[in-house]
Amino acid sequence: MATTAFPSPSNTTYILVHGAWYGGWCWYKVAPLLEAKGSRVIAIDLPGYGQDTTPAANVTLNDYVKKVEEAANSVTGKVVLVGHSMGGAIISQVSEVLGPEKVKKLVYLDAFLLKNGESIFSQVEKINEASKAFSDSKIEHPASEYLIFSDDQKTCLINPLMMEQVFCHDSPADDIVLAKTNLRWQPMAGLATPITVSDSCYGIIPKIYIRCTESKDLDRRSIVQNMPCQKVIEIPSSHSPFFSMPEKLAEILVQLS
């Protein structure tokens, strides 16, 4: 299935948008916990991920946006968009398309939080520059050490040998195996394309940021200053809290609804 839905009589619908290389499968612990609390959950496989067979090299940011937009429009009422990592850029652009009439809240899970005209690549540069001011940064491996690029440079992949230490060092062994097994090539276009959003639409939708303080891929302490957030929550997790602390993550999401 390209999309996994957990039906519920609740009026709260969470659309969970995974990050680069992952898929809707990464929410397999969190989705049932949310459903058990009376929420409806849609965990998406973005184009080219999970069981979606779209060729990765052809996928664009707009393809991601359309997939999430379709999921949101498939349900009645407002939705809470939750974006992990790269998914943050996607939910931001989706919110501009759907507007506050459809999007209740935007939740950024250790995600990119962009302004109009910014791309993930441009924000990574800002984060890395800002991180120089932190003497206690936990970033040990720059992206150049753990990324593998395709011959045509259109896609990239995490080196499976470094998956655990960079993205999920505190996760159960079974989940690390799951992640390594299900990694997919990431289109560079999705990381390089700037978002186009406005203050009158994207700008007015409430934003919550959940920062994983033990992340080792990027030091995101500066990122929460990029756009006004209604609330910033910190949890002592790696970049993959849906593996390491799913109960805590589900509890936070329910409280935010």
In the prediction, which pLDDT does 2 show?
43
Strand 13-17 and strand 79-84: the pairing is parallel
- Buried b / exposed e across 13-22, counting CB within 10 Å, b at 16+? bbbbbbbbbb
Query: Please, what's the b/e burial string for 148-179 (b: 16 or more CB within 10 A of its CB; e: otherwise)?
Result: eeeeeebbbbbeeeebbebbbbbbeeebbebb
Token pair of 46 as six digits: 């973005």
User: Cα(14)–Cα(253) distance, rounded to whole angstroms?
Assistant: 9
What are 21-80's pLDDT values in tens digits?
Answer: 999 999 999 999 999 999 999 999 999 999 999 999 889 999 999 999 999 999 999 999
Measured CA to CA in angstroms, residue 123 lies from 134, 191, 234 at distances of 17, 10, 20
Beta strand 186-187 with 155-158 is antiparallel
N- to C-terminal Cα distance for the chain?
Answer: 27
At residue 186, φ and ψ (nearest 5 deg) are -100, 125
E strand or H helix at 179, and its extent? helix 173-182
* Structure tokens belonging to residue 96: 């501009």
- Structure confidence by residue, pLDDT tens digits, 191-205: 999 999 999 999 999
Which residues in the chain come in under a pLDDT of 70? 1-10, 135, 137-141
CA angle 157, 174, 246 (to 5 degrees): 90
How many whole angstroms separate alpha carbon 131 and alpha carbon 202?
Answer: 27
Q: Which of 93, 95, 105 is nearest to 193 (CA)?
A: 93
pLDDT given at position 133 = 79
Angle at 110 between CA 109 and CA 111, to 5 degrees: 80
Structural domains of the chain, ranges and CATH numbers in brackets: 3-256 (3.40.50.1820)
